[in-house]
Amino acid sequence: MEPNTEITAAVAPERARPLRRELRSWGRDLVIALSLAIVIIIFFYQPVKVEGTSMTPLITDQERIFINKFVYRFEPIERGDVIVFWYPLDRTKSFIKRVVGLPGDTVEIQDGHVSVNGNRLEEPYVPPEELDRGNLSATQVPMGEYFVMGDHRISSNDSRIFGPVPRQFIYGKAVFAYWPFDHFGSIPVIDKASR
């Protein structure tokens, strides 16, 4: 009887070792996956919740989106981009708007229609019923700054009110909506022809 006891005692640790090895492997993989997710979220993409209606119908109130925080290190900000920036009058708040005027551009608004450098801007993203019929005399955008506006013009606090946004306040580009599900997908880029 004693030899059987020794055999049973010798087999039990061998079964425990593969389980420990397996758990250790899973734990290592989980730590690596979480580390990569944290790095991606901190340096590349950040989930944000939109509050307000200034970008409807493209982005609605309480919608969840991802912003790319890294893209503008490699490519320039372009007219039509939907950007996220620190509100110039209170840097504890973030705003999301569309770039209308680039550094050096002259922006003018007549009866709600935007002209850039004397050419009327085609804006298919602004619903006609949301067009603000206001005016803005010709304003030159300073170098290193951007003129931004919301798509829902009649309820947008934008560069018409607080002026152009300095480049250093811009920290991301809206790229992907993930909630609610009926808005799931890439945030469309306006083709260069309409810029």
Cα-based distances in Å from 45 to 13, 64, 171, 172, 182: 45, 13, 11, 9, 21
Q: Is 97 a catalytic residue?
A: yes
Catalytic choice (69, 97, 159, 192): 97
Q: Count Cβ atoms below 10 Å from residue 72 Cβ, excluding itself.
A: 16
pLDDT value of residue 99: 97
Catalytic choice (25, 35, 49, 54): 54
pLDDT value of residue 16: 57
Spatial distance between the Cα atoms of 44 and 56, rounded to a whole number of angstroms: 25
Q: Is 159 a catalytic residue?
A: no
DSSP assignment of 9-50, as one string? Answer: HHHHHHHHHHHHHHHHHHHHHHHHHHHHHHHHHHHTEEEEE-
Tokens 């002259």 belong to residue: 106
Within the chain, which residues score under 70 in pLDDT? Answer: 1-16, 41-43, 191-195
Hey, what amino acid is at 101?
G
pLDDT value of residue 188: 82
